[in-house]
Structure 1
């Protein structure tokens, strides 16, 4: 029997790549978008789902379960970026980012868990970020939202294990997607104390995305996680230095690691 997969944020980027790849490997895939009618030429099913709207989440899950009779895998991929000096970034934009990157995925997990408990089986994969393992300058809110999702994954993994459900996260590094276009960018204010350094780092961030890895690398990693009978809790997918930076943070003194980051970001 083909496994039924729900993947949020499947209209573009990493989500679309994962959904297409799993479809090729004979999974029954339901991708989501706030406006699925605008998503053309995809081989998998699309349903409407807005992670900020609990009713739309429940409706999407109910529709899939009613049609397929089960739901085996949730891939919590929907999210958005945000950049800016913390001092200059509007607080409501910070809260909006947490609503999408943190509270939204939690609501989707809450919606699928009752069905997975009935089945006594299920797997939830939260897409976080390598940025969630460290506070990055001018990306602090994004780092914090993804880091928070990493910790929620750890907690929920223990809470649901007895029901036959696994919850893991996979943290990508920089991938060649359109994430930069969808970010909220705090403006480079003329009177900002961070004007020059922030402007330089905006260009650096966009260059990292443009030079990023093929999203299919993430899709292959997700397939391996789905097929694992005893998955780990944390996975990292990215370049050598991106993954090595997490190891360095564990072993280096705080000030030494901070100096390395500041040199990298020319601060």
Structure 2
């Protein structure tokens, strides 16, 4: 039987690349996407195609290219995303819009494009890569948390809307992993004499440190493989440290004010 074809958005680096390499070793037929394929002339870990999740024509062209070579599209992993940090008051509106266009509307654009294909196949799996940050409003990361939280919620809706077509939709929320996301993240500048200057500046350093000291993204790749192999995928999955996953449980059981104090203390370290 022909191996399953997997399409990973944002597959040229970071978590997406780790997923693609791992799935390739497991015998899957992997395609990854990047916004600018000219930047990767020597990329040979798996097949790489051009796509910008913010552009409907770009998505169509990418999927058409994949289906020119393949009979089916079995799995789509919505991994492309951007990081964003900053006090809301000092974050440019255009950067907020771009974050939502990429992290939330982008996956929806891809899903809209692949649903007719998977419905015709009467089978398919869509995995939305969200974030543990999407389960809570983190100071100076509120926009990022909001984009990922919105994707978690809409995954629940989409799953119910498409289940009768033989399509499974699920989401996987990673914690901090050692990737190059910090280099591509937009962060509002630390403004001298701003009321947010010290606390935001300290938080920004802590965020970079957490990413640098994060886990190996192969953990995310292995989790994705497990989801693909699962007979009945769950709605939500998490992968990260014990504390990162436990923080979600704490939010359910602690009074709101206690949980807020916990987050503020943690973020200020």
TM-score with structure 2 setting the length: 0.98
C-alpha displacement of 1:192:
1.4
Secondary structure at the aligned position of 2:248 is classed as helix
Q: Which residue does 1:30 correspond to in 2?
A: 31
CA RMSD of aligned residues (A): 0.9
Which of 195, 198, 213 is matched with 1:196 structurally? 198
> Does 2:166 correspond to 1:169?
no
C-alpha displacement of 1:38:
2.0
Which of 230, 233, 236 is matched with 1:231 structurally? 233
Which of 84, 87, 90 is matched with 1:88 structurally? 90
> Does 2:185 correspond to 1:183?
yes
Q: Please give the alpha-carbon distance, in whole angstroms, between the structure 1 residues aligned to 2:172 and 2:106.
A: 17
> Does 2:2 correspond to 1:19?
no
Contact in 2 for aligned 1:88/1:192 (Cα 8 Å): no
C-alpha displacement of 1:75:
0.2
Q: Please give the alpha-carbon distance, in whole angstroms, between the structure 1 residues aligned to 2:268 and 2:213.
A: 19
Deviant stretches of 4+, over 3 Å? none
Q: Which residue does 2:120 correspond to in 1?
A: 118
Deviations 1:173-217 (A, max 9, x none): 000000011100100111311000000000000000011000100
Structure 1, unpaired ranges of 5+: none
| Equivalence map 1:12-161=2 (5 Å) | 12-39=13-40, 40-161=42-163
Q: Which residue does 2:266 correspond to in 1?
A: 264
Q: Please give the alpha-carbon distance, in whole angstroms, between the structure 2 residues aligned to 1:19 and 1:7.
A: 7
Secondary structure at the aligned position of 1:78 is classed as coil
Structure 2, unpaired ranges of 5+: none
Aligned residues: 267
> Does 2:6 correspond to 1:5?
yes
Secondary structure at the aligned position of 1:168 is classed as strand
Q: Please give the alpha-carbon distance, in whole angstroms, between the structure 2 residues aligned to 1:102 and 1:191.
A: 34
TM-score with structure 1 setting the length: 0.98
Q: Please give the alpha-carbon distance, in whole angstroms, between the structure 1 residues aligned to 2:36 and 2:91.
A: 28
Secondary structure at the aligned position of 1:138 is classed as coil
Q: Please give the alpha-carbon distance, in whole angstroms, between the structure 1 residues aligned to 2:204 and 2:268.
A: 12
Q: Please give the alpha-carbon distance, in whole angstroms, between the structure 1 residues aligned to 2:119 and 2:186.
A: 37
Q: Please give the alpha-carbon distance, in whole angstroms, between the structure 2 residues aligned to 1:41 and 1:53.
A: 23
Secondary structure at the aligned position of 1:103 is classed as helix
Deviations 1:93-142 (A, max 9, x none): 11110000000010001111111001100000000000000000000000
C-alpha displacement of 1:53:
1.0
C-alpha displacement of 1:154:
0.5
Q: Please give the alpha-carbon distance, in whole angstroms, between the structure 1 residues aligned to 2:205 and 2:193.
A: 19
